[in-house]
Chains A and B, each alone.
Chain A
């Protein structure tokens, strides 16, 4: 089997956007952290931790480049982001508020999927 050039397979001439930037990173994280097969490996990875993080990234990823431009180490200064908060409780509470504000909660997800699936 021949192996196509990587540049050839990355962009099927589509006007597709697989370049860098926050939007592309968001697409990658959405898939790598939320989709794909989940199995119980030998090392327990807490999916809740990933979900928490995903949402945090969702909300804050776009500000990363802006912060970098301004010379700010964007996640280091925020106890919420650097995982140095007082406890998971506070983190979860804050996250729940952010999720609901962003319409990213479980309910919103299901609602969103349901409404649009009808059109299929």
Chain B
């Protein structure tokens, strides 16, 4: 059976990739460029027998098939980053022949060039903010005024009333924790946004995914020119919120997955 053309992304036609692609070794094919005018598709030849519409649903549902290929997709785009801006494609875009790849490049040349210009000199950084609920709860128990007042009242109340007040204090404390987390997430996002050209907020990952026992309260992506700037903001925020059990996890630079139009012609 014949080959298909897998699209990783699009970059400038004049990009210098050095040995970034000749040294690539992964579960997807070694990438090369298909150049048309000012833009170039980062593409690789896959077996159409493997990328077959009837087989794909099964393969996509097999992590043993998908995970190495998704990781290879990321690796290819990451290797292209030092050469210049890259427009990443979502996993699994396949054309039947080179002509179809060229047709896509030609009919979307303007949109692709515009996207590349917007991304030029900019990187995507990820920021995940975590709150340690135990530390935060302990901190707020001492500092939250309504809770502190109730604690004083509980200390001198008769047993039955103390029980009622205790339940109320616990509820107030839970609310204070949630409010703190929301405000912290909003203020952190605002601080990171201030140094970014574009922002995207994704749903916080559950603990099963983040691999952390703390609560993820912000899962943001920021497009920016200065990597140092986001690091500085993260350090400032970490100092400010450190006593409340909040930590900041910065990742990147990433190919700008979060900053391309998701639908294309």
Is A30 within 8 A of B202, CB to CB?
yes
Instruction: Evaluate whether A112 and B201 lie within 8 angstroms (CB atoms) in the complex, with A39-B265, A103-B206 already known.
Output: yes
Q: Are B95 and A41 in contact (CB under 8 A)?
A: yes
Option from A31, A43, A115 in Cβ contact (under 8 Å) with B257: A31
B250 touches A35 (CB 8 A): no
A38 in contact with B250 (CB, 8 Å): no
Cα–Cα distance between A62 and B51 once the two chains are bound (Å): 28
Chain B nearest Cβ from A36, distance in angstroms = 4
A50–B92 touching, CB < 8 Å: yes
Say yes or no: is B187 at the interface (Cβ < 8 Å to chain A): yes
Distance, CA A22 to CA B208, complexed state (A): 9
Say whether A23 contacts B212, CB under 8 Å.
Answer: yes
For A18, what are the chain B residues with a Cβ–Cβ distance below 8 Å?
251-252
A69 to B98, CA, bound (A): 44
Asked whether, in the complex, the Cβ of B95 is within 8 Å of the Cβ of A42, the reply is yes
- Number of residues in A with C-beta < 8 Å to the partner? 68
Residues of chain A within 8 A (CB-CB) of B203 are: 103-104, 108-109, 112-113
Contact B83 A1 (CB under 8 A): yes
Q: Does A68 count as interface, using CB distance less than 8 angstroms?
A: no
Question: Quick one: given A15-B231, A37-B90, are A25 and B67 in contact (CB under 8 Å)?
Answer: yes
Contact yes or no, A26 B211, CB < 8 A? yes
Q: Contact: B73 with A32, CB < 8 Å?
A: yes
**Can you name the residue of chain B whose Cβ is closest to the Cβ of A108?**
B203
When the two chains form their complex, are residues B64 and A75 in contact, meaning their CB atoms are under 8 A apart? Answer: yes
> Interface residue count for B (Cβ, 8 Å)?
88
Closest chain-A Cβ to B158's Cβ sits at a distance in Å of: 41
B185 CB–A CB distance under 8 Å? yes
User: Which residues of B does A touch, CB under 8 Å?
Assistant: 4, 7, 9, 15-20, 48, 51-53, 56-58, 60-64, 66-67, 70-71, 73-74, 78-79, 81-84, 87-96, 100, 104, 125-126, 182, 185-187, 189-190, 193, 199, 201-212, 218, 220, 227-228, 230-231, 249-255, 257-258, 260-265
A100 contacts partner chain B, Cβ-Cβ < 8 Å? no
Contact indicator A6/B209 (Cβ below 8 Å): no
A14–B89 touching, CB < 8 Å: no
- Contacting pair A37 B209 (CB below 8 A): no
Set of chain A residues within 8 Å of B260, measured between Cβ atoms? 35-37
In this assembly, does A116 line the interface, its C-beta being within 8 Å of a C-beta of chain B? yes
B residues less than 8 Å from A52 (CB atoms)? 61
Q: Within the complex, which residue of A4, A17, A57, A102 is in contact with B249, where a contact is CB–CB below 8 Å? A: A17
Given contacts A3-B17, A42-B96, 7 further A-B contacts (CB under 8 A): A26-B211, A30-B202, A31-B257, A61-B208, A61-B209, A116-B201, A116-B218
| Contact A43 B4, beta carbon cutoff 8 Å | yes
A53 to B255 Cα, complex, angstroms:
22
Question: How distant is the Cα of A27 from the Cα of B57 in the complex, in angstroms?
Answer: 23
> Please, how many angstroms separate the alpha-carbon atoms of A76 and B73 in the complex?
24
Closest-CB distance, A109 to chain B (whole angstroms): 5
- Selected from A12, A21, A49, A120, the residue in CB contact (under 8 A) with B253 is A12
9 contacts between A and B (CB under 8 A): A12-B227, A26-B211, A27-B126, A31-B257, A31-B258, A49-B61, A58-B209, A63-B208, A117-B201
Assuming the contacts A21-B211, A43-B56, A120-B193, asked whether A37 and B78 have C-beta atoms less than 8 A apart, the reply is no
Task: Pick the contact of B61: A81, A109, A113 (CB < 8 A).
Answer: A81
- Give the residues in chain A near B70, CB-CB below 8 Å: 28-29, 32-33
